[in-house]
C-alpha cells in the first residue's frame, strides 16, 4: 500500500529573503527574530521534553506554555502588522485525519493556506492528508486546490502561490482501526526529516466524527507517534468532546492513556474569534471597565448565539446531538467563563484556564428538579425568514416525524461568588432565529434615583462576536432642544476600522497549537465542569421519565418560545438584535 513519492515537501519562505535584504540596506545587522525563536524553542525542548503518561499514572496537568511575543514591523498597514505573530513555529508536519471532509474543505485548508502565504509557517512545512477514501497524491492535490478556489474563507492567492502550496501536499489512506495507515503516517514524518532535517515535529488534527477520536488516538499511540523523543507531538480534537459527562470522562481517560494532557488541544473555534479575545483586553486592559464588572453595578448578562440557518443537510448529526451538545456545553460556556472569570495572575495558558475553571465550579448546580425554573427548550416550526417560507424542524429532510430534539435553549446561570452573587447570566442559542448573530451584553443597573423626566434605560456594553465584529456602549444623553429630555446613544467600535480583514479563527488556533500555546484551548477540567452544568438538562429532557415536550413551540423567523421571555423575568427583556 506504500506509495513512492518524490519532490520537496515544502516551498521556501515567501518573503524572508526580500525583507532581510531591505533591512540590511537601512540598518546595522541584527539577530534574525525567527532564528532566535527557533533556537530558544529547541533549547527549551532539550531541557523539558514531555513524554506520554504511563497508563498506571494520572497524567500531568498542562505545563507552562509558549510566552507571547510582540508584533512584527513589516512596513505595511501597521494594524495589519500587529495582527501577525513575530515568530513562526519550528518545521513541522500537519497531519489532518478526515482531510477530505467538509470541515477540512471549508475551514482548515483555507486557514492553513492563509498562514503559509503570510509566511507564518516557516520554510519546512508540509501537510499529510489522511482518510479512508482511496486517493493518490495527485488526486488529493487537485482536491485541495479546488477547495481553496471555491471556499469563501480562502485569502486571495498571490501569483504562483497555489502551485507552490500544491507541492506541500501528500495523502495516505486506510482503515483507522488498523495499524497500516499509521505506519504510512510515520513514514511521511521520516521523509519530512530527510527532506528538511531537524526534528520530526507533528500536529495531528482529528477532523473526523467523534466515534473515531479514540481509535485514531490509540492507533497513533500503538505506532509510537505520540512519543516526543524525536520532536514535539500534539493532537487537536474537535467538538463535541463526549456526548455527556460519563462519555466525556471515558474519552479523556482513553486520550490520556496515550497522550499527556500538555499534548492535547481541544479546539473550540469561538475562542479564535477576535472579539472573544478582545473581551479580556477590554476588561483587564482598561481601568474604566473592571471596577464596574461586579454585582454592585451589573444587573445581568446576556449571551446570545443565534443562527438563521436550519440543518443544512446535517440532520443525522443534529438528531443525535441537539442544541445543548451542539452549542450550549461548548461555545456558550466558553463565552460565559471569559465574561465572568477573575483577572488571571498572568497572561498564560495555565493562569487563564485556572480562572475559567473557578467560574464553572462556582455555578449553582442545576439538578433535574431545578431545570423547569432555570431553563427553556424549544423547537422551530414552519415560518417565514427573510420574506420566504421555511419548513419546521420536523419537516426537514432526515428528521424523524415527531422528533423531540430541541433546536433552542435558554438558561439562567447563577454564580455563587463575591463578584457575581445575585447577578444572573442568561444564555440562549437556537436555529432558525431572525438573524445570525453572536453577542455578549453586559447590562448595567439603572441609576438609583431618576431625576429626569421619563424613564431611564440601562447602560449596555455589548461585544459583537459575529458578524460586524466590534464593541458598543449604550448610554443616555440629552437630546438637542429646550427641554431636558434624554435619549439613548451608542458609541460603536468596529474591527473594520483597522483596515484589515480579520483572520479565520482556525488560523489563529492552528498557529497557536503549532507554537505550543494552549491559552485558547479548553482544558480537561473545563470540559468536565461544563458537562456537569448541563447534565441536569439532559437528564430532565432525555431521561426515561422525561415528559414529552409541546413541540414545535416557536415559528421559524422568531426569537424563540414565549417561555424564554418569562425566564428572563420582570423588568428585563431579551435584546432584539
Residues in binding site: 98-105, 132, 175-176, 239, 269, 273, 307, 326, 431, 436
Residues in the annotated binding site for NADP(+): 98-105, 132, 175-176, 239
What is residue 71's DSSP assignment? B
In Å, what is the CA distance from 453 to each residue of 130, 395, 479, 487, 527? 68, 51, 12, 11, 49
Instruction: For 252-321, give the DSSP string.
Output: HHHHHTTS-GGGEEE--GGGGSHHHHHHHHHHHS-TTTGGGSSTTTEEEEEEEEE-----TT-HHHHHHH
429, containing H or E segment = strand 424-430
Query: How far is CA 22 from each of CA 19, 175, 256, rounded to the nearest angstrom?
Result: 5, 50, 48
Give the residue from 562, 204, 558, 139 showing the smallest Cα distance to 381. Answer: 558
Cα–Cα distance measured from residue 120 to residue 510, given in angstroms and rounded to the nearest whole number? 11
How remote is the C-alpha of 16 from its chain's centroid? 30
Handedness of CA 540, 541, 545, 551 (dihedral sign): positive
Q: Residues comprising the binding site for substrate?
A: 269, 273, 307, 326, 431, 436
Helices (H), 402-523: 505-515
- Using DSSP bridges, classify how beta strands 470-478 and 460-466 pair: parallel, antiparallel or unpaired: antiparallel
529: annotated active-site residue: no
Catalytic residue among 196, 256, 300, 331: 331
Residues designated catalytic? 331
Amino acid at each position: 500500500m506504500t506509495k513512492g513519492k518524490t519532490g520537496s515537501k515544502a516551498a521556501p519562505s515567501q518573503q524572508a529573503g526580500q525583507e532581510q535584504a531591505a533591512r540590511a540596506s537601512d540598518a546595522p545587522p541584527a539577530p534574525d527574530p525567527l532564528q532566535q525563536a527557533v533556537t530558544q524553542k529547541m533549547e527549551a525542548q532539550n531541557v523539558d521534553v514531555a513524554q506520554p503518561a504511563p497508563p498506571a499514572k494520572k497524567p500531568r496537568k498542562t505545563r507552562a506554555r509558549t510566552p507571547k511575543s510582540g508584533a512584527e514591523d513589516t512596513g505595511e498597514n501597521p494594524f495589519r502588522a500587529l495582527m501577525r505573530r513575530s515568530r513562526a513555529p519550528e518545521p513541522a508536519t500537519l497531519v489532518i485525519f478526515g482531510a477530505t471532509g467538509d470541515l477540512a474543505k471549508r475551514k482548515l485548508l483555507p486557514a492553513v493556506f492563509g498562514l503559509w502565504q503570510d509566511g507564518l509557517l516557516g520554510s519546512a512545512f508540509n501537510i499529510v492528508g489522511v482518510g479512508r477514501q482511496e486517493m493518490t497524491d495527485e488526486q488529493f492535490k487537485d482536491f485541495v486546490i479546488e477547495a481553496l478556489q471555491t471556499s469563501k474563507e480562502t485569502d486571495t492567492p498571490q501569483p504562483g502561490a497555489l502551485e507552490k502550496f500544491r507541492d506541500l501536499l501528500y495523502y495516505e489512506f486506510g482503515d483507522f482501526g488498523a495499524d497500516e495507515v499509521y505506519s504510512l503516517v510515520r513514514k511521511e514524518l521520516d521523509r519530512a526529516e530527510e527532506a528538511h532535517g531537524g526534528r520530526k515535529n507533528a500536529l495531528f488534527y482529528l477532523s473526523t466524527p467523534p466515534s473515531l477520536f479514540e481509535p485514531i488516538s490509540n492507533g497513533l499511540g500503538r505506532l509510537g507517534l505520540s512519543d516526543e523523543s524525536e520532536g514535539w507531538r500534539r493532537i487537536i480534537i474537535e467538538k463535541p468532546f463526549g456526548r455527556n459527562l460519563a462519555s466525556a470522562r471515558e474519552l479523556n481517560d482513553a486520550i490520556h492513556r496515550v497522550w499527556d494532557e500538555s499534548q492535547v488541544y481541544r479546539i473550540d473555534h469561538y475562542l479564535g474569534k477576535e472579539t472573544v479575545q478582545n473581551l479580556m483586553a477590554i476588561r483587564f486592559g482598561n481601568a474604566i471597565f473592571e471596577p464596574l464588572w461586579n454585582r454592585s453595578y451589573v444587573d445581568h448578562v446576556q449571551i446570545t448565539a443565534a443562527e438563521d440557518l436550519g440543518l443544512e443537510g446535517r440532520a443525522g448529526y443534529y438528531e443525535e446531538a441537539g442544541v445543548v451538545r451542539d452549542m450550549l456545553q461548548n461555545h456558550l460556556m466558553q463565552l460565559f467563563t471569559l465574561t465572568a472569570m477573575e483577572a488571571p495572575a498572568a497572561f498564560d495558558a495555565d493562569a487563564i484556564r485556572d480562572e475559567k475553571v473557578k467560574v464553572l465550579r462556582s455555578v449553582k448546580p442545576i439538578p433535574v428538579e431545578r431545570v423547569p425554573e432555570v431553563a427553556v427548550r424549544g423547537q422551530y416550526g414552519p415560518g417565514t425568514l427573510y420574506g420566504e417560507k421555511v419548513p419546521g424542524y420536523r419537516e426537514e429532510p432526515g428528521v424523524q416525524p415527531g422528533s423531540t430534539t430541541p433546536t433552542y435553549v435558554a438558561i439562567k446561570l447563577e454564580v455563587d461568588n463575591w463578584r457575581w452573587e445575585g447577578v444572573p447570566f442568561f444564555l440562549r442559542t437556537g436555529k432558525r432565529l431572525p438573524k445570525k448573530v453572536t453577542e455578549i451584553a453586559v447590562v448595567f443597573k439603572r441609576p438609583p434615583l431618576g431625576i429626569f423626566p421619563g424613564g431611564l434605560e440601562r447602560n449596555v456594553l455589548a461585544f459583537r462576536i459575529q458578524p460586524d465584529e466590534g464593541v458598543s456602549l449604550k448610554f443616555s444623553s440629552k437630546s438637542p432642544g429646550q427641554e431636558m429630555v434624554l435619549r439613548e446613544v451608542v458609541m460603536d467600535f468596529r474591527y473594520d476600522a483597522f483596515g484589515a480583514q480579520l483572520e479565520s479563527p482556525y488560523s489563529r488556533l492552528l498557529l497557536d497549537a503549532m507554537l505550543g500555546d494552549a491559552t485558547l484551548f479548553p482544558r480537561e477540567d473545563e470540559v468536565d465542569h461544563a458537562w456537569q452544568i448541563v447534565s441536569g438538562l439532559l437528564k430532565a429532557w432525555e431521561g426515561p421519565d422525561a415528559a414529552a415536550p409541546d413541540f414545535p413551540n416557536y415559528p421559524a423567523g422568531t426569537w424563540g418560545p414565549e417561555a424564554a421571555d418569562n425566564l428572563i423575568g420582570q423588568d428585563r427583556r431579551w435584546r432584539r438584535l
